[in-house]
């Protein structure tokens, strides 16, 4: 009787573990696809964007906002134009991994791993090179060339989101308390006041 109870308990435990593995994946889409007919918005990525801004880059997104037909498909795309020495500032996508391919120019790119290591991985990319930024990690791209640069990136979400670190920390509305930021960054309050007084450009 004890032996049979042990086998029953073991079988139940294995079954529960197997079911937990099944439910660990993403749920299936709620629908097969969503066709957006007569959508007046243009989502073309063939036109270079103006990069004469404070950071020297402009991101053109193609996600579910621009193309409702991406609803439930779990993908989106961006075009990034960079002026010489243009920067796509450190940012993160909370809901997507990003794969970037360089079309023109030379980009220095990188991402930082999470705590406790905060390890920086970087690479200089040339036309045709590809780099992956894991979901949720802070990453950047910097045009180290003397000419413009262009890159395309695919993201594993229909709505990946973007949080530009400096904008969020020093340009929040309302402002984060200077007491919090002076302690977090271990700097004088004048430094925090200076950074909070800047205009933080949104290149998205």
CATH of the domain at 89: 2.60.120.10
Higher pLDDT, 148 or 204: 148
What CA–CA distance (Å, rounded) separates 153 from 145?
19
Domain of 63 in residue numbering reads as 57-196
In a domain, 32, yes or no: no
What CA–CA distance (Å, rounded) separates 155 from 93?
9
In a domain, 85, yes or no: yes
Element (H, E) at 134: none
- pLDDT value at position 2? 58
Buried/exposed 73-95: b ≥16 CB within 10 Å, e otherwise:
bbebbbbbbbbeebbbbbbbbeb
Q: What is the mean pLDDT of the chain?
A: 88
Is the separation of the CB atoms in 45 and 79 below 8 Å? yes
Q: How many domains does the chain contain in total?
A: 1
For 88-133, the pLDDT digits (tens) are: 999 999 999 999 999 999 999 999 999 999 999 999 999 999 999 9
Global model pTM greater than 0.85: no
Higher pLDDT, 30 or 184: 184
Phi/psi-derived region of residue 85, left when phi > 0, alpha when psi is between -120 and 50, beta in every other case: left
Q: How confident is the model at residue 143 (pLDDT cuts 50, 70, 90)?
A: very high
For 150-199, the pLDDT digits (tens) are: 999 999 999 999 999 999 999 999 999 999 999 999 999 999 999 999 99
Handedness of CA 34, 101, 114, 187 (dihedral sign): negative
């Amino acid at each position: 009787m004890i032996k049979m109870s042990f086998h029953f308990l073991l079988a139940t435990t294995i079954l529960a573990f197997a079911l937990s593995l099944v439910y660990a994946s993403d749920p299936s889409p709620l629908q097969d696809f969503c066709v957006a007919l007569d959508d007046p918005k243009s989502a073309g990525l063939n036109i270079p964007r103006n990069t004469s801004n404070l950071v020297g880059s402009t991101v053109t997104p193609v996600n579910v906002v621009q193309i409702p037909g991406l609803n439930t498909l779990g993908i989106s795309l961006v075009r990034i134009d960079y002026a010489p020495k243009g920067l796509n500032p450190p940012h993160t996508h909370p809901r997507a991994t990003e794969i970037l391919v360089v079309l023109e120019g030379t980009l220095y790119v990188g991402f930082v791993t999470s705590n406790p290591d905060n390890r920086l991985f970087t690479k200089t990319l040339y036309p045709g090179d590809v780099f992956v930024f894991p979901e949720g990690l802070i990453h950047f791209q910097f045009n180290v060339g003397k000419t413009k640069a262009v890159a395309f990136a695919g993201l594993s979400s229909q709505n990946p989101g973007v949080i530009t670190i400096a904008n969020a920390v020093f340009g929040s509305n309302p402002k984060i308390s200077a007491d919090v930021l002076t302690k977090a960054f271990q700097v004088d309050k004048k430094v925090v006041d200076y950074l909070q007084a800047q205009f933080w450009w949104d290149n998205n």
